[in-house]
Structure formats: C-alpha cells, structure tokens
Chain A
Amino acid sequence: MVVHLGTAEMWEQLNPSDVITDTNDLEGLRALDPQAFSAVYDQYFPIILRFIRFRLGDENQAEDITNDVFTRLLEAIQRRRGPDSNLKAWLFATASHAVNDSLRKSYRRKVELLDNDLADPMPLPAEIVETNESKRAVQLALSTLKPDLQNVLALRFGQGFSLDETANLMKKKVNHVKQLQFRALAALHLAMEEAANE
C-alpha cells in the first residue's frame, strides 16, 4: 500500500482568498486578545477537528493535532506570520500540513496500532464491529490517495462544504475542484475495490 504523505503547494496556489475574515478577528488575534482567540476557537475548532479526523480516522490523534493547529496559529501570530485575510483557509492549510507531518512521523507506529486494534480482546457487538470495519476499510482506502484528493473529499463529504467553499479553502478554481472531486471519487472507489480483492 502506498500512503501519500503530502505536498504543501496545493494550499498556496492560485487565487488570493475570496473569503475575507473579519478584520476585528485578526486584529484581536494580533493583540493577543483572549476574547478573540476564544471566538476563533469556538468557530473553527469543530470543523478543523472533523477535517483532521476524516484524514486520520483517529479521535485522540485528531484532537491533539487540532490543538496543535491553534498553537501554531498563536505562534505564527507571535512571529507576525499569521493569516493576512483568510483565517479559515489558513487554519485548513495548517491542519493539512499538520496531518501530513504527523503521518510522516508516525506512519510505522500507526500501522502497528491498527494491527493491535484488530486483535482487540474486548469483543464488540456485531453491528458495531461491522460498522467499524467498514469505516476502517474506507479510511485505509482514503489514506492511499494523494493529499489533495483526500482534502477535497474531506471538505466536500466530510464537512459538506459546497464547491465554492471548497474552492475558497483550497485556493483553487471551482472547475479545478470539480476535476479533483471526480478524480478523488474514482481513486477512492478503485482503492476500495483493490482492498476488497486482496
């Protein structure tokens, strides 16, 4: 199995952002205003966590990395390298980088954990086992896709974002996102078929 760990350039290409973050938010963040950080956290934590959880399929790891994303936001603002206008896109881009970093560092360990999970001595109800195995099969198939394909699936089907929103966050044109989505679904179906035949 080939697991694609990532390119970063997809988040940094093409259009300047169309979504302008409330400048009060950004000014508040730059002033290290706890109120601003709290508001940004409340607004974005859920969607960033779900994005990361979609990519990783591991709740605890996703929570850790989501917290890491907000720590990176704080550090970036401290170094005056934080988002200029599109905070949401910055957070998703950082989340994508963080996921790729994490996979790069812990891929070997993760496989071992998955193997251990399969040998879980605590039996679960049949329906839950079936659902979990089904989710795990999709998750494994997803992990074989290139990061930009994973991201478009995470945003479109994990988050339910529209084509326009997804294009904004990925800083791509809508037609490009349509193509990516098409390729991603085809690749996912193929990967699931290959896994089923193994």
Chain B
Amino acid sequence: MNKKIMLALEDCLQSLQNGASLEATLERHPDLTSELLPLLQAAQAAQSVDPDPVPQKAFIAGRSHLLAQVSNLRRKQGVRTGLSPVLRFALITAVVLAFLVVSGSGLIAASASSLPDDPLYGIKRTAEVIQLGLTFDPTQKDALEDEFYQRRIAETQSLLTDRRAVEIKFSGLVEARLADGWLISGIHVVVSPQTEVDGEIVPGVQAQVEGITQVNDTVLSQKISLEQDGNDGNSGSNSSGSGEIQATETLQPESGETPNPEGGSSNSGGGSGDSGGGGGSGSPTESSTSGSNGSGDITKTPEPTRTPEPTKIEALTKTPEPTKTEDPTRTAEPTK
C-alpha cells in the first residue's frame, strides 16, 4: 500500500509540475485522494516558501569578496602569475635569439594579442623588456614605455570585455570618484575594505592598480599606489635620470567634455618586466617640463582608451593651472 501511494505521489507531483490543477491531479488516483491530498498540499506549501529571485547585489558582492580572498591567499602562498625565475631566464634567452633571428615575427607576433593569464603572455612581456633593452635612443625608449603602459590598460579592458577574472596590474590616471570606487583611465576600479591604499586617491593623480578583473566590467582592487609628488607644480624636479617620461601637458576639461583617460602623465613603462606598469611621476593635470632626459621632445598624441560614462562621473575636480615653463613640450587636449 505504502509503495502504491509513493508511486501515485510521484505521478501527482509530476502532474502538478506540468501545470495541472490539484483537482485534476487527484482525479488520476481517485482511490487514494484522502491520502494524497495532504501530501500534495504540503508539496505546494513547500514550493511557495522561496519563490524570490537571487538578489544581484548579493551575488556581485559575494563574488568580489571571494575573489579578494583568493587573491590574498595567492599572495600569501606566493602563487606566481608569470613564470618562475629559471623559466623566465630561459625564456628571455630564447626570445632574444628569436628576436634577433626572426625580428619580431613568429612566436612574438603570435603573442602580441595575448592577455594576462594566456600561455603566450609571458613571451609578450619578455619581448617588451628586450625591446626596451635594445632601444638606446631616449626618445624612442620613452615612446616605447608609453606604448607598453597603454597596452596594460588595453589588456585590462579586453579582459573586462571578455568577462574574464584574471589578476592584473596597470597604471592610470584617477579620473573620477564612483559610488563604489574610482574611474581610473576609463576603468571602473572597485575599492573594497580589503583594498590596500598607499596614498590619497584624488582625481588627477597617477595610480598603480593591482587587482582582479570581474565579469561585471569592474576591477576589484587589492592594492592602489598613488604618486606622492605628482601635483606640486614642480614637475621638472623629479625622476631625473630615471629614464621615465616627463610629459608636459595641460588638461583643460570643460563642462560636458570627457576627461582624457590617459592624462599624459609620466609612466615608468608598463612593460618593464615584473613591474606590470609602474606609475610614473609627474603631474597629469599640470604642466611640467621634460626633466628625465633633457630632450623634452615628446611628440605622441595621447588617445583615450575608453570614454567614461558621463552619468557615473562626478567630474574631474582639479583645475589645471596654466603652464609657465619655458619649454612646453606637449599639450594634451581633452577628448570631445
């Protein structure tokens, strides 16, 4: 008898699941109606307990929390995102040979579009180091460093577009404050209680961000390092001889215009080995003379990597001051 009821119960549950009414379902087993009715009522009650959808906010917050924990653990355990020193050395040797022999073709060319966490990414970064090492003209070297610096930002944006969760490091200009973080070079960087912030985050300064890309088009930051001496107006005084770019430019944001994500600030070269794009010195919002190598000849025109959404931006609050240098070398104009 019990087995018969259980079979009938399963049949009735299936019927209910297919959309039949309770009455119609019970008619399938008229001899067991009194036994089945309370069970089916209980099943319907159980189904009514949790009809609510999963809240998106909790979903995203939980993922950020978990990924922050994973990242912390990786750092504690010394999990390397790149290659081991031995492998790196071997790779450098191999790439030098490859570079000299095929001059940028083949493997290196194949790695050009790779992203952090891709198998060929180590080759791409190592090739950048070698390319820098083999470039002796200071102007060309600066241009290369700036190109690599932009690559780190573009890679981060590609990872966000691909909705991949990968550890990244890039340097960029703090453009605006957002509800849960900052817009840095067009990238929405979320700051959590676990984020280690070295310095004061204010719009206009150069920041180096370490974190994880998230599928919701944000970077969950683990560490943000700010340039300490970027806004003193004496831009020619720092990083002398460091080989860093000392860009001279004036940002003149106007109402309704989008701040230039690049900001033209100095950059120590995103492609330099493990640095992953160290932040440069110098002020992105003020004029500065070229102090690093005396050439003062930076001819590149910065291009925006992404246009920030105006509705999310509180606006770049720093007002640029007019340049009074004798040798203005570059003027960056905001994107329109």
Contacts and interface: CB of A to CB of B under 8 A. Distances in A.
A105 to B, nearest CB: 21
Interface of B: 2, 5-6, 9-10, 17, 38-43, 45-50, 52, 54-55, 58-59, 62-63, 65-67, 69-71, 73-74, 77, 79, 117, 164-167, 212, 214-215
A182 to B, nearest CB: 5
Give the interface centre of B42, B48, B79 by most chain A CB atoms within 10 Å: B42
Interface in A55-97: 57, 59, 63, 66-67, 70-71, 74, 78
A178 interface: yes
Contact of A66 (B39, B41, B46, B62): B62
B48 A185 contact: no
Contacts of A192: 42, 45
Contacts of A53: 50, 52
A181 B46 CA distance: 12
B6 A142 contact: no
Interface of B is mostly: helix
Nearest to A139: B49
A156 B43 CA distance: 9
B166 to A, nearest CB: 6
14 contacts: A32-B73, A34-B165, A35-B165, A41-B62, A45-B54, A53-B50, A54-B50, A70-B62, A70-B66, A138-B45, A178-B10, A179-B6, A182-B9, A189-B42
Given A34-B165, A182-B5, A135 B49 contact: yes
Contact of B45 (A66, A179, A186, A188): A188
Interface of A: 31-32, 34-35, 37-39, 41-42, 45-46, 49-50, 53-54, 57, 59, 63, 66-67, 70-71, 74, 78, 134-135, 138-139, 141-142, 153, 156-158, 160, 163, 178-179, 181-182, 185-186, 188-189, 192
A135 B166 CA distance: 42
Given A37-B66, A41-B66, A182-B5, A32 B77 contact: yes
B297 to A, nearest CB: 42
Give the interface centre of B49, B65, B215 by most chain A CB atoms within 10 Å: B49
A157 B41 CA distance: 12
A186 B69 CA distance: 43
Given A32-B70, A37-B70, A49-B58, 5 more contacts: A34-B71, A42-B63, A63-B62, A153-B46, A185-B40
A74 B73 contact: yes
A157 B214 CA distance: 33
A112 B2 CA distance: 41
B46 A38 contact: no
A42 to B, nearest CB: 7
B54 A49 contact: yes
Contacts of A156: 46
A17 to B, nearest CB: 23
B63 A158 contact: no
Contacts of B54: 45-46, 49-50
A160 B55 CA distance: 19
A34 B166 contact: yes
A34 B167 contact: yes
Contact of A189 (B41, B49, B71, B79): B41
A142 B58 CA distance: 25
Contacts of A45: 54, 59, 62-63
Contacts of A39: 165
| Among all A-B residue pairs, the 8 with the closest Cβ atoms | A38-B165, A157-B46, A189-B42, A189-B38, A188-B42, A185-B42, A185-B39, A46-B54
A86 B261 CA distance: 46
A179 B7 CA distance: 10
B45 A182 contact: no
B74 A32 contact: yes
Contacts of B66: 37, 41, 67, 70-71, 74
Contact of B70 (A74, A178, A186): A74
